[in-house]
């Protein structure tokens, strides 16, 4: 039984803090910077010690975990597979309807866009890669749409409505061991 415990891992899936816009280099807002500091306090005060951080390459994701990384003296490993999902290469007037449709039909995609299944697969590759490492407590920082899709892979209850209810930031845990335990939302909540 002890051997099974040695292979157990906890992954904290974090939606980035509040930001100015959606482009790759959107910085955090003033509240977002304060939220990042609160995240740092939250992760610093856990019973278990975080030993690895992976982030989307987008500035708002990296900056959301930077205060904690600095405090814990951990490197932020940037992974392109955690970037936000692109619905279309062209602007979409009814993007909310298109997004909802993409949660219902996981293979649906627009020209230049990525299907939900494609996004789930690339994000899941990161989780899968962590299974074979010695890291035990991992933080992964990404974006609402991608994280909702990834969570959907482990719990069918996560979908479009869950995405709409997400806040910046939100934190979920995913327990990996002999089997994957359903993700759970962490009640850490920012007071901003």
- Report the pLDDT value the prediction gives residue 6, as an integer from 0 to 100: 46
CA distance 92 to 88: 7
- Per-residue pLDDT tens over the stretch 130-145: 988 999 999 999 999 9
- Report the pLDDT value the prediction gives residue 92, as an integer from 0 to 100: 87
Which of 117, 142, 121 shows the shortest CA–CA distance to 12?
142
In order of start, what are the domains of the chain with their CATH numbers? 2-85+135-185 (3.40.50.1240)
Count, residues in the chain: 192
- Report the pLDDT value the prediction gives residue 98, as an integer from 0 to 100: 93
Backbone angle region of 22, left / alpha / beta, with phi > 0 → left and psi within -120 to 50 → alpha? alpha
CA distance 105 to 83: 21
The pairing of strands 181-185 and 170-176 is antiparallel
Residue segments in the chain with a per-residue pLDDT below the cut of 70: 1-7, 178-180, 182, 188-192
Strand order across the beta sheet in which 76-78 lies: 76-78, 52-55, 137-142, 9-15, 170-176, 181-185
- Report the pLDDT value the prediction gives residue 28, as an integer from 0 to 100: 97
Query: Which residues share a beta bridge with 40?
Result: none
- Per-residue pLDDT tens over the stretch 95-132: 999 999 999 999 999 999 999 999 999 999 999 999 88
- Report the pLDDT value the prediction gives residue 188, as an integer from 0 to 100: 66
Collapsing DSSP to helix, strand or coil, 44 comes out as: helix
């Amino acid at each position: 039984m002890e051997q099974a415990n040695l292979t157990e891992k906890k992954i904290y899936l974090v939606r980035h803090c509040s930001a100015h816009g959606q482009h790759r280099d959107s910085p955090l807002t003033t509240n977002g910077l304060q939220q990042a500091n609160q995240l740092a306090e939250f992760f610093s005060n856990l019973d278990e010690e975080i030993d690895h951080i992976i982030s989307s390459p987008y500035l708002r994701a990296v900056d959301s975990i930077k205060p904690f990384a600095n405090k814990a003296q951990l490197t932020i490993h940037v992974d392109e597979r955690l970037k936000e999902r692109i619905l279309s290469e062209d602007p979409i007037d009814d993007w909310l309807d298109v997004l909802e449709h993409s949660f219902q039909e996981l293979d649906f995609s627009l020209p230049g866009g990525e299907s939900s299944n494609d996004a789930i697969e690339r994000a899941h590759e990161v989780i899968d890669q962590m299974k074979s490492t010695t890291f035990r407590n991992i933080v992964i920082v990404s974006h609402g749409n991608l994280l909702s899709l990834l969570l959907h892979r482990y719990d069918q209850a996560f979908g479009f409505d869950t995405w709409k209810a997400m806040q910046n930031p939100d934190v979920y845990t995913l327990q990996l061991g002999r089997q994957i335990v359903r993700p759970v939302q962490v009640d850490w909540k920012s007071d901003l």
